[in-house]
Structure 1
Amino acid sequence: MHNQLPFFMAMIASIVLLTMLAKRLKIAYPILLVVGGLLVSIIPGMPFVIIDPDLIFFIFLPPLLFEAAWASSLKEMRKWWRIITSYAFLVVFFTALSVAVVTNYFIPGFTLAIGFLLGGIVSPPDAVSTSAIMKFVKIPKSTAAILEGESLLNDASSLIIFRFALIAVGTGQFIWQDAISGFLWMVLAGLGIGLIAAWIFIQAHKRLPTDTSSDIAFTLISPYFMYWIAEQAHASGVLAVVAGGLLMSQKRLTFLNSASRLRGLNVWEIFVFLLNGIVFLLIGLELPEVTAGLYADGIPMNEAIGYGVLVTAVLILARIISSYGALVFTYIFRRQKLPHASSFKRRLAMPLLLGWTGMRGVVSLAAALAIPLKLDNGAFFPHRNLILFITFVAILLTLVVQGLTLPILIKKTKLFDSFIDEEREDETRRQMKIGLKQEVHKFLKHKYDTEWQGNESMAKFIQHWEERIKVTEADTWMNERTKTIFLEMIEKQRNYLVELNKDPLINESIIREQLYQLDLEEERLRVV
């Protein structure tokens, strides 16, 4: 263990430095981490880095999915649920089918079952890569919501395809009845286990005498608990974590206090940053092991690279075709559900954007590594090393090519500069703050109407809030009585924001920004 400590310390230091460089260069940090790991791996004398797939599936995947679900808006997912589910399930299946057909035709020895296995591995776009790249460009809120929602579900659908294809390769047969029943069980049981586990954790937060540290500890172990229980029941651990994370996120105001929410946000931000960094660096460091497997099988490198490029092209084309197919279907049958755009050209641009955001990453790598070395009959798993290499090429090419060109494509073409369905965020924030002040003033007038009569301190307090409706000022006086009133007012403002969030025209991210400010204000009051 002590011999490996310098390696881990150097890895963390490299992650921090490469992330800083990525910010300076204004590119998504997963791209630089993968390339950095790739360059380090080809240094002469570097030892092989062998990744245990269970390490990624159990150690890395649950918290990454949970954090993504925590940050997602259930309201926006409900609004765009048709598109999200079609991308997360139908598009993933179509992509896997396309990969299966193409590889069966072009790669010698590849059966449809092996092609479906590869398709299930490389079909899900990576949520971390997409979100990191989206920070450098301005896209419609509706598109961002669709991408976030899709990223939470497509991992589950691809891993389900992967499992059934793995069975088909091992047994040589595929029973549709068993596959359909198994699929339904994995989806429904996964969702149910996640929701039940989340409810248990919420009750534990509410009923046990927890403090900030124990609250954060509970949130850290909850995704692992959800994932493990679901996998033990042969359900989808991914869907369990997503469902549980969404429920706990929606109920966060009811079982976490402001201190737990604020400090937990900082802890999770650092935790997820390190997990993402380690995984993407390991993807690059994995190259020597992958290429060694190819040489052992006697597959020429140029031939393997060609197969990797072919599969990557199929992934990109299948996603773009699916995007425009969804647009045509919606235009014909559900035209009222189309995102409103300022021109037909801009409406046509959205499927292109969705089609070009298919960067692959963590789940694809873990699934490829999870392929067993041997079948149940003792024979070596067919084309395992080639599947690993194709997966690596797909991850590398989609990250570098799509990841670097997507921001340029959006900025140069200016296709998404002015969508009609984009709310005016500045005006929304201004109206929301006016509403908060009015809500506080109404609360004070109603509750303290008799108490402040003749009380100079309370009279000034009411007058202060009447003035704040017109002008924003910082309050410079505080005592125990006014502190209590302030805390009550903050809770009243939270209730107002929760009700305001029911308006489908207001994006939830704006509401969450203001809730974060209220948490900060409450913590400031508690230490005065």
Structure 2
Amino acid sequence: MLGLELIVVLGAAVVLGSVVARPLRVTEPVLYLLAGLLLSLVPVFRGVGLPPETVLLLFLPALLYWESLTTSLRELRRFIRGILLSATLLVVITAAVVASVAHALGLDWGSAWILGAAVAPTDATAVASLGKALPRRQMTVLRAESLVNDGTALVVYGVALSSATGDGDISLPLVSGEFVYSFVGGAAVGVAVGWAMLAIRRRIEHAMAGNAATVLTPFVAFLLGELIGASPVLAVVACGLYISRNAPLTISAHTRQQSVAFWSLVTFLLNGALFVLVGLELPSAVAGLWTTVGRANGQAFGQVLLISIAVYAAILVTRLAVLVVSAYLIRAIDRRPYQRKLRTTNRARVMSTTAGFRGAVSLAVALSIPDGGQFPERNAIVFITAFVVAASLVLQGMALPKVIRWSRIPEDTKIVEELVTAKRTSIEEALEALPSLAREIGADDDVLERIRGEYGERLEALNAGFDDEEHPAVVRTRQYRRLGLAMIARKRTTVVRLRDDKTIDDTVLRIIQGELDAEEVRLMHQQETE
């Protein structure tokens, strides 16, 4: 029953944390982390946690896939150089700096490098949860970086683990080749899986079956990446980006509506559950370290705590330094006018450093270290990693809103402007094609005029600008939305009354309710984007 109890308390912690976060003005992941710590005080949950391979094989593919599906490929290409530098070079430099600091304070080189690999990558889950208030550019770059850098960190971890155990020869050409193969192979697998899945989806008309294939997609990409020895993380990311680019005209609206609802809910639950599990793991890491104080490696708890603080500080300083230095190097080398448009400020780099959260993936990497006499410093590595993750989520998460205000990044209205352009152009071209479309389906003239009037009203309101509250077209459009929503509420009340009076069956209620819900969502969405 413990498994069922764990599922219930994880779900309850996520729901409660999300509900009270706004009134308390505390970010949700911080509350999830505290909930995990409180749950660890309950005897039945003491020492409970998921195996690290569960995080890497179950949580990671699903979360990375949804993040890649909702990432702007255009913005990714626009900032590709900075993203790749942060996702590769910055990870390696951070791992090296952390290893040097940890070794100087007492860890052996093998353990120090494993620690560096664990804490080097930023976490896509944490960035998505805590970075919602970030400006669009910084959010795009951080999300893209977090999607890719796990692959780099896992390669560094594999090399460090092989070196520490003496299972393989380590050389620069060998490591470089492994990096290249991991990245290129992972991307190739992801594109191939994305292409195959879209080809399959074109032949599936049943919405449920199509979405079942969607659920399998990230795990198929992850599995194939693992089987060929490439980066499974990049396989999932490349697959998601490919499908995001090519799916709009392939997948039906009904299937897509189901898919978005499913993935939004699942990733919300998985995100929250991961942070709660991190909180559950922290006391175990401390207890495991405490029981080994003075054994094998002779490290005192105070020494490990000092290493933890030094490593956390090193991560922040290294990230800021690399971002600043690389920006000025690029500025000195590339003087093109286009490059000048991409420049940002050092305040923005401080904001990016603050938003570089570490999360559950780092802890999963640390926990995946073989448990035995071969790694006497395993508990120290787990504790340091857990300390870095907790400090990152709590300290940086609480500081980020203030840093965002301090950075004074101008408001980016590009998305709003492009949204208006897309709506206007789509309506204009639809109106232009309306007569020929009406002839094709044999529509009556009164139907044609009704559609023309509705679309014309919408276009007039767009051209006037919805900020112009006094314009007649804007007033009529807003009244139309409010009246439509009021009518839907009245129809829903009527249908429920008919069900209660036994005039109609519950099946009929559900059918009409689905139609009313779809109409209400459409009106609400249009109202929110005006």
Does TM-score exceed 0.5, indicating one fold?
yes
Contact between 2:49 and 2:277, CA under 8 Å: does it hold in 1?
Answer: no
1:203-258 Cα shifts (integer Å, max 9, x gaps): 11112x33111121111111111111211221111010000111111122132111
Which letter maps to 2:404? Answer: I
Contact between 2:354 and 2:399, CA under 8 Å: does it hold in 1?
Answer: no
Where 1:372 maps in the other structure, the secondary structure is coil
Q: Structure 1 residues 445 and 13 mapped into 2: Cα distance closer, same or farther (>3 Å)?
A: same
Q: Structure 1 residues 454 and 246 mapped into 2: Cα distance closer, same or farther (>3 Å)?
A: closer
Q: Paired residue for 1:415?
A: 408
Q: How does 1:370-409 map to 2 (within 5 A)?
A: 370-374=368-372, 379-409=373-403
Which letter maps to 2:317? Answer: L
Contact between 1:133 and 1:407, CA under 8 Å: does it hold in 2?
Answer: no
Q: Paired residue for 1:259?
A: 254
**5+ unaligned residues in a row in structure 2: which ranges?**
294-298, 462-472, 485-517
Where 1:271 maps in the other structure, the secondary structure is helix
Q: Paired residue for 1:513?
A: none
Q: Structure 1 residues 222 and 427 mapped into 2: Cα distance closer, same or farther (>3 Å)?
A: closer
- 1:196 and 2:186 equivalent? no
Q: Paired residue for 2:349?
A: 351
Q: Paired residue for 1:272?
A: 267
Which letter maps to 1:146? Answer: V
Q: Structure 1 residues 138 and 229 mapped into 2: Cα distance closer, same or farther (>3 Å)?
A: closer
1:36-83 Cα shifts (integer Å, max 9, x gaps): 212332456753114311111111110010011011011110011000
Which letter maps to 1:180? Answer: S
Contact between 1:259 and 1:519, CA under 8 Å: does it hold in 2?
Answer: no
Contact between 1:28 and 1:129, CA under 8 Å: does it hold in 2?
Answer: no
Q: Which moved more, 1:228-237 or 1:84-93?
A: 228-237
1:424 to partner: Cα distance: 4.7
Contact between 2:183 and 2:231, CA under 8 Å: does it hold in 1?
Answer: yes
Count of residue pairs brought into register by the alignment: 468
1:329 to partner: Cα distance: 1.4
- 1:131 and 2:128 equivalent? yes
Q: Which moved more, 1:79-88 or 1:25-34?
A: 25-34
Q: Paired residue for 2:70?
A: 71
Residue from 156, 159, 164 that aligns with 2:154: 159
Question: Whole-Å Cα distance in 1 between the matches of residues 450 and 371 of structure 2?
Answer: 76
Contact between 1:51 and 1:286, CA under 8 Å: does it hold in 2?
Answer: no
Q: How does 1:228-307 map to 2 (within 5 A)?
A: 228-298=223-293, 299-307=299-307
TM-score, structure 2 as length reference: 0.81
Question: Whole-Å Cα distance in 1 between the matches of residues 427 and 300 of structure 2?
Answer: 70
Contact between 1:122 and 1:391, CA under 8 Å: does it hold in 2?
Answer: yes
Q: Paired residue for 2:496?
A: none
1:458 to partner: Cα distance: 3.0
Q: How does 1:205-220 map to 2 (within 5 A)?
A: 205-207=201-203, 209-220=204-215
Q: How does 1:322-471 map to 2 (within 5 A)?
A: 322-335=322-335, 336-338=337-339, 340=341, 347-374=345-372, 379-411=373-405, 413=406, 415-416=408-409, 418=410, 422-445=412-435, 447-448=437-438, 455-462=445-452, 465-471=455-461
1:166 to partner: Cα distance: 0.6
Question: Whole-Å Cα distance in 2 between the matches of residues 297 and 279 of structure 1?
Answer: 27
Q: Structure 1 residues 133 and 445 mapped into 2: Cα distance closer, same or farther (>3 Å)?
A: same
Where 2:77 maps in the other structure, the secondary structure is helix
1:286 to partner: Cα distance: 0.9
Q: Structure 1 residues 518 and 62 mapped into 2: Cα distance closer, same or farther (>3 Å)?
A: farther
Q: Structure 1 residues 42 and 211 mapped into 2: Cα distance closer, same or farther (>3 Å)?
A: same
| Aligned residues with identical type, % of pairs | 26
Contact between 1:130 and 1:359, CA under 8 Å: does it hold in 2?
Answer: yes
Residue from 168, 174, 177 that aligns with 2:163: 168
Q: Paired residue for 2:178?
A: 182
Q: Paired residue for 1:121?
A: 118
Contact between 2:428 and 2:459, CA under 8 Å: does it hold in 1?
Answer: yes
Where 1:27 maps in the other structure, the secondary structure is coil
Contact between 2:348 and 2:407, CA under 8 Å: does it hold in 1?
Answer: no
Contact between 2:121 and 2:153, CA under 8 Å: does it hold in 1?
Answer: yes
Contact between 1:262 and 1:520, CA under 8 Å: does it hold in 2?
Answer: no
1:340 to partner: Cα distance: 4.5
Where 2:345 maps in the other structure, the secondary structure is helix
Where 2:121 maps in the other structure, the secondary structure is coil
Question: Whole-Å Cα distance in 2 between the matches of residues 185 and 433 of structure 1?
Answer: 43
RMSD: 2.9
Which letter maps to 2:356? Answer: G
Which letter maps to 1:117? Answer: I
Which letter maps to 1:120? Answer: A
1:518 to partner: Cα distance: 13
Contact between 1:205 and 1:255, CA under 8 Å: does it hold in 2?
Answer: yes
1:334 to partner: Cα distance: 2.2
- Structure 1 segments, 4+ long, off by >6 Å, are 449-454, 516-519
Question: Whole-Å Cα distance in 2 between the matches of residues 389 and 451 of structure 1?
Answer: 68
1:10 to partner: Cα distance: 2.0
Contact between 1:35 and 1:284, CA under 8 Å: does it hold in 2?
Answer: yes
Contact between 1:202 and 1:255, CA under 8 Å: does it hold in 2?
Answer: yes
Which letter maps to 2:448? Answer: M
**5+ unaligned residues in a row in structure 1: which ranges?**
478-515
Q: Structure 1 residues 337 and 42 mapped into 2: Cα distance closer, same or farther (>3 Å)?
A: farther
TM-score, structure 1 as length reference: 0.82
Where 1:256 maps in the other structure, the secondary structure is coil
Contact between 2:142 and 2:356, CA under 8 Å: does it hold in 1?
Answer: no
